[in-house]
Amino acid sequence: MTIVKTKYGRRSFIKTTVLAGGGMLLGFSWLAGCKPAGSRGEAALELPDEWFEINGFIKIGDNGVVTIMSPNPEIGQNVKTSMPMIVAEELDVDWARVVVEQAPLNTEIFTRQLAGGSQSIRQGWHSLRMAGATARHMLRQAAANAWGVPFDEVTTEMGLLKHEASGRTAHYGEFASAAARLPVPEEVQLKDPKEFRIIGTSRKNVDGQKIVTGQPLFGLDYRRDGMLIAMAVHAPAFGMKLKSVDDRAARSMPGIVDVFPIKTYADDYERQWCDTDAFNEKVVVVGRSTWEVMQARKALRIEWEPAAPLESTDGHRVAMDVLAARKARVVRRDGDPEAMFAKAARIIERTYTAPFLAHNTMEPMNFFAHVTDERAELVGPTQTPEFMEKSLAARLGLPLEKIDIQMTRQGGGFGRRLYGHFMVEAALISKQVGAPVKLIYTREDDMTFGNYRPAYRATYRAALDEAGNLLAFHVRAGGIPESPLFPDRFPAGAVDHYLAEVWSADSNISVGAWRAPRSNFIAGAEQAFLDELAEAMGKDPIDLRLELLARAAARPVGDHNDYDPERYAGVLKLVREKSGWGQPLPQGVGRGVAAYYCHNSYVAQVVDLRVEKGKPIIEKVCCAVDCGIVVNPDAAVNMVEGGTVDGIGHALYSELTFTNGAPDQTNFDRYRLIRHGEAPKAIEVHFVESDEHPTGLGEPPLPPVMGALANAIYRATGKRVYHQPFIKELRSQLPG
């Protein structure tokens, strides 16, 4: 047991209120069915007559059923299951008697209600455990008081309170009312990880049954009586603005209620980071049904005019070539790299590029809003409710406490729903028409209005001496509109003479965080370069990395290297063992390795593939992961599989290009996403056994696999690929 003080400013533990009947004050009753957390179609749990709120995370029914609020946005990363598991662990309850509810935005109770940076579990870990442990403590105290026995003699087991000496037992529900009235304890006991019986065991998705039976769960599924449907038309190209609208034909179409322009953010508003919006002026069509609104938009006559340069991919390429050839801003220099390059016996130099990417969440952007003069109610998919509450308050001129945001399950996030302009749009539209409104983006709206992954380019250079020893390492990386480089990441710290430089080119194409920002390119480039370096040095690619990591562990260069070389080496060793590295492969199969550290987790991957007529067939990917304690192992495996498929898919197939400011790909007919038959035939996932604080998994598996893929392509074909999407390069290598 660990004794932990509860006094660390968590307001959720100060507030203990007893709710009378139903007790759904915090509930999201539209989405909440009373199904056990492990719902696999078992009979629904019996509802209690009364709920008692022990703290902001936990309500206990008089029959012992427990409701656990899941605070963070669920975008497919499984936090709606894994975060409540952590609470349930410390509360010591039977998971089958737990109901999980999505908590609304509530900054009084919860901290960091955000989905981003793979941080939900890492940053929630302590407060989730404390929530459970505090409630357990109060239940024990209530039982001790009632039974007239010392607190220490009251134990718990799976939702039962026990006093061994007297043989008394009671379920939590019997003391929930009394516990809710007790003061919050000053200190509580946390379990020793060895005592965990929920954390570290696989628990099914709490929404599984609803997902496979098509129950309403997502933002697009939300509806309210009298709700209207709205769509917002934005400029067809980045750099254009609204000139004039002729809406006469559209207005007279069946089912159309109103057509009007909106300005999402006021001109004098100082935007937050999450207020990115390249198309601030939009033309809105509001009607009774989705199809009618879609038809009416086609009847709009809108003139747009250029207000800024209309950029094209060809122009971007030229700009990047020019900038990459110049000296750039030095962000890290160790030793004297220039001198080493001057005296090198051999210099290897390679350039890597990757295009813009759209997020393409399967569920397009959408939001429900009902705004009156007094308050604003918003329901839908967002990764940043806490931030967007501020944007909404500012735009609507309402105080924060009048903005009520509820989160639905979200059909993917990948970073796109960090940028909540669509929430503001929905709110403005509802206010204007005086009715509840659901704003829907079509796929085309969604794809052409991205906060895209930037286009990147990196040049790596290595200086070798006569004997093939590494003398110096140089990376110069940039992009539109930002550089992808992390100057303090491996191999910085492992090389005496090291130089990192960055450059960037301005653009009016809006970009944002896309699953594993910057790492989603630089990892693949760096890991492909290390593969070539190993070959030039005559070393096994894993051995080279391990030698460099051993150097960084024993005698690090510089004192702010952003990784733990031992954990890094740990995943490489694990993947070497599990993948059968070095063993012979079937004819035609190439094997590549990569490892990377980002978002606090370490991942190494080995890819086995064949290339047939320019088409890669991925036989297998073996993954080794160190993310500390694994909360929900099978769900964690699912995340790693997903990140692996996503990384391979985007590196091989996807790109977003521009002509005169307009995206050339507007839907899935031209935008290539990886499909069933192109996915790896098998993905194996191994976790490093660990007692370390848990870290995230939403992003870390994606970046390295891009490098492992490129390296495997080389081993299979004898040709290196440098420019994503690799499928184009593979095709261009085909004879004839």
Partner 1 sequence: MAVFTLNVNGKRYEVDVDPATPMLWVLRDHLNLVGTKYGCGIAQCGACTIHLDDVAVRSCMLPVSQVGNRRITTIEGLSANGDHPLQRAWLEHDVPQCGYCQAGQIMNAAALLKANPNPTDEEIEAAMHGNLCRCGTYTRIKAAIKSVVKG
Instruction: Pick between residue 14 and residue 673 the one whose CB is nearest to partner 1.
Output: 673
Instruction: Pick between residue 239 and residue 364 the one whose CB is nearest to partner 1.
Output: 364
Q: Nearest residue to ligand FES, using CB?
A: 362
Residue 691, SS3 per DSSP: coil
Min separation Cβ 508 and ligand FES, Å: 30
Q: Which amino acid belongs to residue 482? A: E
End-to-end CA distance of the chain: 69
* C-alpha to C-alpha distance for 620 and 616, rounded to whole angstroms: 12
φ, ψ of residue 427 in degrees (nearest 5) = -65, -45
Min separation Cβ 410 and partner 1, Å: 6
Handedness of CA 642, 647, 652, 657 (dihedral sign): positive
Closest CA to 59 of 30, 100, 29, 28: 100
* C-alpha to C-alpha distance for 305 and 180, rounded to whole angstroms: 62
* C-alpha to C-alpha distance for 252 and 229, rounded to whole angstroms: 16
What the block records as the tokens of 722 is 């440098």
Q: Which does 613 bind (CB under 5 to 8 A by kind): ligand FES, partner 1, none?
A: none
Q: Which does 77 bind (CB under 5 to 8 A by kind): ligand FES, partner 1, none?
A: partner 1
Instruction: Pick between residue 54 and residue 220 the one whose CB is nearest to ligand FES.
Output: 220
Packing angle of the helix pair 633-653, 702-717 (nearest 10 deg) = 50
Min separation Cβ 273 and partner 1, Å: 24
Q: Is 148 exposed, middle or buried (0-12, 13-18, 19+ CB in 10 A)?
A: exposed
Instruction: Pick between residue 300 and residue 683 the one whose CB is nearest to partner 1.
Output: 683
Instruction: Pick between residue 273 and residue 291 the one whose CB is nearest to partner 1.
Output: 291
Q: Which does 229 bind (CB under 5 to 8 A by kind): partner 1, ligand FES, none?
A: partner 1
* C-alpha to C-alpha distance for 287 and 422, rounded to whole angstroms: 17
Q: Convert 319-365 into a string of H (helix), E (strand) and C (coil).
A: HHHHHHHCCCEEEEEECCHHHHHHHCCEEEEEEEEECEECCCCCCCC
Does 364 contact ligand FES by CB under 6 A? no
Min separation Cβ 297 and ligand FES, Å: 17
Instruction: Pick between residue 74 and residue 174 the one whose CB is nearest to ligand FES.
Output: 74
Does 412 contact ligand FES by CB under 6 A? yes
Instruction: Pick between residue 286 and residue 492 the one whose CB is nearest to partner 1.
Output: 286
Instruction: Pick between residue 345 and residue 362 the one whose CB is nearest to ligand FES.
Output: 362
Tokens 């009979």 belong to which residue? Answer: 43
Does 23 contact ligand FES by CB under 6 A? no
Interface with ligand FES in residues 588-647 (CB under 6 A) = none
Closest CA to 417 of 454, 387, 438, 442: 387
Min separation Cβ 80 and ligand FES, Å: 14
Interface with ligand FES in residues 490-509 (CB under 6 A) = none
Q: Which does 166 bind (CB under 5 to 8 A by kind): ligand FES, partner 1, none?
A: none
Residues in contact with ligand FES, counted by CB under 6 A, come to a total of 3
Does 219 contact ligand FES by CB under 6 A? no
Instruction: Pick between residue 443 and residue 723 the one whose CB is nearest to partner 1.
Output: 443
Does 400 contact ligand FES by CB under 6 A? no
Min separation Cβ 428 and partner 1, Å: 23
Which residues, 6 or more positions from 252, have their beta carbon under 8 angstroms from its beta carbon?
none
| DSSP one-letter code for 657 | -
What the block records as the tokens of 715 is 């081993």
Instruction: Pick between residue 412 and residue 493 the one whose CB is nearest to ligand FES.
Output: 412
Q: Which does 214 bind (CB under 5 to 8 A by kind): ligand FES, partner 1, none?
A: partner 1
Q: Which does 295 bind (CB under 5 to 8 A by kind): ligand FES, partner 1, none?
A: partner 1
Min separation Cβ 692 and partner 1, Å: 25
Instruction: Pick between residue 284 and residue 640 the one whose CB is nearest to partner 1.
Output: 640
Q: Which does 329 bind (CB under 5 to 8 A by kind): ligand FES, partner 1, none?
A: none
Instruction: Pick between residue 146 and residue 294 the one whose CB is nearest to ligand FES.
Output: 294
Residues lying near partner 1 in the complex (CB under 8 A): 40-41, 75-78, 202, 204-205, 207-209, 211-218, 220-221, 223, 229, 254, 289-292, 295, 360-364, 409-414, 442-443, 634-635, 638-639, 641-646, 649, 667-669, 673-677, 679-683
| Number of helical H runs and strand E runs in the chain | 17, 29
What the block records as the tokens of 505 is 């080119």
Instruction: Pick between residue 639 and residue 706 the one whose CB is nearest to ligand FES.
Output: 639
Strand ranges (E), 355-445 = 366-371, 376-380, 403-407, 437-440
Handedness of CA 716, 719, 721, 722 (dihedral sign): positive
Maximum C-alpha span of the chain:
89
Total number of residues shown for the chain: 736
Q: Which does 646 bind (CB under 5 to 8 A by kind): ligand FES, partner 1, none?
A: partner 1
Min separation Cβ 441 and ligand FES, Å: 13
Instruction: Pick between residue 249 and residue 682 the one whose CB is nearest to partner 1.
Output: 682
Min separation Cβ 642 and ligand FES, Å: 8
- Count Cβ neighbours within 10 Å for each residue of 188-217 and write b for 16 or more, e otherwise: bebbeeeebebbeeebbbbbebbeeeeeeb
Min separation Cβ 585 and partner 1, Å: 20
Min separation Cβ 236 and partner 1, Å: 18
Closest CA to 714 of 616, 571, 581: 616
* C-alpha to C-alpha distance for 717 and 731, rounded to whole angstroms: 12
Half-sphere exposure of 74 (CA within 13 A, CB side): 25
Min separation Cβ 658 and ligand FES, Å: 24
Q: Which does 634 bind (CB under 5 to 8 A by kind): ligand FES, partner 1, none?
A: partner 1
Q: Which of 25, 212, 342, 362 binds ligand FES (CB under 6 A)?
A: 362
Indicate the Cα dihedral angle 492, 494, 497, 499, nearest 10°.
-10
Strand ranges (E), 268-318 = 281-287, 301-306
Which residues, 6 or more positions from 305, have their beta carbon under 8 angstroms from its beta carbon?
240, 241, 242, 243
Min separation Cβ 646 and partner 1, Å: 5
Tokens 């090389």 belong to which residue? Answer: 495
Min separation Cβ 406 and partner 1, Å: 17
Does 649 contact ligand FES by CB under 6 A? no
**Whether 282 contacts 232, CB under 8 Å:** yes
* Cα angle: 187, vertex 696, 619; to 5 degrees: 150
Min separation Cβ 675 and ligand FES, Å: 12
Q: Which does 135 bind (CB under 5 to 8 A by kind): ligand FES, partner 1, none?
A: none
* C-alpha to C-alpha distance for 276 and 508, rounded to whole angstroms: 11
What the block records as the tokens of 580 is 């059968």
Instruction: Pick between residue 77 and residue 711 the one whose CB is nearest to partner 1.
Output: 77
Q: Edge to edge, what strands does the sheet with 403-407 contain?
A: 256-263, 281-287, 228-233, 437-440, 366-371, 376-380, 403-407
Alpha helices in 264-420 (DSSP H): 290-298, 313-325, 337-343, 385-396
Min separation Cβ 253 and partner 1, Å: 10
Q: Which does 62 bind (CB under 5 to 8 A by kind): partner 1, ligand FES, none?
A: none
Does 76 contact ligand FES by CB under 6 A? yes
Q: Which does 680 bind (CB under 5 to 8 A by kind): ligand FES, partner 1, none?
A: partner 1
Q: Which residues bind ligand FES (CB under 6 A)?
A: 76, 362, 412
